[in-house]
Amino acid sequence: MQDAALKEIPDGYQKKFIHIDMDSFFVSVELLDAPHLRSCPVAVGGTAAERGVISTANYIARQYGVKSGIATATAYRLCPELVLLPVRFEAYEAVTRKLDSIFRRYTDKIEFLSLDEASLDVSGQTQFNGSATYMAAHIRKAIEQELHLTASAGVAPLKYLAKIASEVNKPDGMFVIRPPEVKEFLAELDIRKIPGVGPKTYSVLENLGCSRCGDVTEDKIPSLMRNLGVHGFYVWERCQGVEEKEEKESDVKSLGVEKTLPIDCNDFPSCSKELFDLLKNLENRLPEINDNSFIVKNLVKLKFSDFSTSSAEAPATRICQDTVISLCRTLWDTKRKGRPVRLIGLSIKVKRKANDSQQMELPW
């Protein structure tokens, strides 16, 4: 049973993202008006007298340990010759508007994360024969020639990976993760790079033996679920190179079985016994999935005596007994609220393999 219908997640990603992140943006904009300060440690921020903090520091100041978020008073202790300039948001916003007009030459699917950072979806764009790598290089060149500023870029088939890639060769560099390289890149990636993995989540993951994305294997799902709840699935997905939002719902189908119990059930052991029977029934139906599809999720549904229903799902590439039992236990503990269970449902979500002939023919 353990290996029933274990089908590989293909690397046939359909999308192309470019992440652009300006290098020490606020300071770089200020230095356009003060070129004589280029060889000095410079930062933008509030004054020490006003208990201000550093907003951005140039790379010279960073060598002294001056960085975003530290108190300006501390920054002066680290680097007494620091040149501190006040924050001028209007000046930075004006440059951001120019950046936006450069991006619009390539796509109108632009999402700014802040004044100096944006994610561009260039899937299906035809410039440079569809090559996101060339588009990113040209965007960086345009920023340099027209705005006299430098940017770092990341290119990848997933939005969050493009962001991570933009940091690899920062400043003034770029890094490309092509679809066949996603798995290899993730295997060694420090899990703290995944957006949403802060110190709290990391300490849980570390206890589970996960410090790199490659450590988050499928057998960890039940313990991730116990320790992090839904967030655990999110982490698992990102570690596998999956970004749920990018999937089209129409590509996801489900196959399920359910049973109305002969008498309403009030104890977990009887409930899980019924669940085991359903597991076997569902496995018998696996041949109904066609070869062009693969399993992405397990889902458990409980209907209570008052006919209300709750369900829970988790990522899985097969019908996983441990995952299914954990899902049932979660529903039992958190949603049942003392009501007897009337019906149990078990299903898998199945996704069609990407059509390789579309985007993937185009160069990266």
95: contact with Mg ion by CB under 5 A: no
Binding to Mg ion (CB under 5 A): which residues in 250-309? Answer: none
Residue with tokens 């997905």: 237
- HEC string for 295-328: EEEEEEEEEECCCCEEEEEEECCCCCHHHHHHHH
- Residues 172, 176, 180: CA angle, nearest 5 degrees: 170
Q: Which of these segments, 92-100, 114-122, 135-143, 350-358, binds Mg ion (CB under 5 A)?
A: 114-122
Pairing between β-strand 42-45 and β-strand 83-85 as defined by DSSP bridges: parallel
For Mg ion, give the closer residue by CB, 88 or 349.
88
Q: Which of these segments, 110-118, 124-132, 139-147, 184-192, binds Mg ion (CB under 5 A)?
A: 110-118
How far is the first Cα of the chain from the last one, in angstroms, to the nearest whole number? 40
Please state the closest distance from residue 56 (CB atom) to Mg ion, in A.
Answer: 8
For Mg ion, give the closer residue by CB, 29 or 295.
29
Nearest to 58 by CA among 33, 21, 27, 82: 27
For Mg ion, give the closer residue by CB, 116 or 274.
116
Please state the closest distance from residue 25 (CB atom) to Mg ion, in A.
Answer: 5
Please state the closest distance from residue 154 (CB atom) to Mg ion, in A.
Answer: 12
- Please state, in angstroms and as integers, the Cα–Cα distance from residue 212 to each residue in 41, 112, 202, 217, 239, following that order: 35, 28, 10, 11, 9
Q: Which of these segments, 58-66, 101-109, 116-124, 324-332, binds Mg ion (CB under 5 A)?
A: 116-124
- Residues 342, 224, 222: CA angle, nearest 5 degrees: 45
Please state the closest distance from residue 22 (CB atom) to Mg ion, in A.
Answer: 5
For Mg ion, give the closer residue by CB, 21 or 243.
21
Cis amide bond preceding 157, omega within 30: no
Q: Say how far apart CA 74 and CA 108 lie, in whole Å.
A: 42
For Mg ion, give the closer residue by CB, 116 or 243.
116
SS3 of 120, please? strand
Q: Which of these segments, 13-21, 86-94, 204-212, 221-229, binds Mg ion (CB under 5 A)?
A: 13-21
For Mg ion, give the closer residue by CB, 116 or 121.
116
Q: Say how far apart CA 333 and CA 328 lie, in whole Å.
A: 9
Q: Which of these segments, 112-120, 177-185, 310-318, 334-342, binds Mg ion (CB under 5 A)?
A: 112-120
Residues in the interface with Mg ion (CB under 5 A) total: 3
Query: Of residues 13, 55, 99, 116, which one binds Mg ion by CB under 5 A?
Result: 116
Q: Say how far apart CA 197 and CA 112 lie, in whole Å.
A: 21
H or E element that contains 66: none
Q: Catalytic pick from 8, 90, 93, 117? A: 117
Active site residue 361: no
170: contact with Mg ion by CB under 5 A: no
21: contact with Mg ion by CB under 5 A: yes
Binding to Mg ion (CB under 5 A): which residues in 173-232? Answer: none
> Are the C-beta atoms of 251 and 270 separated by less than 8 Å?
no
Please state the closest distance from residue 168 (CB atom) to Mg ion, in A.
Answer: 14
Residues carrying an active site annotation: 117
Residues interacting with Mg ion, by CB under 5 A?
A: 21-22, 116
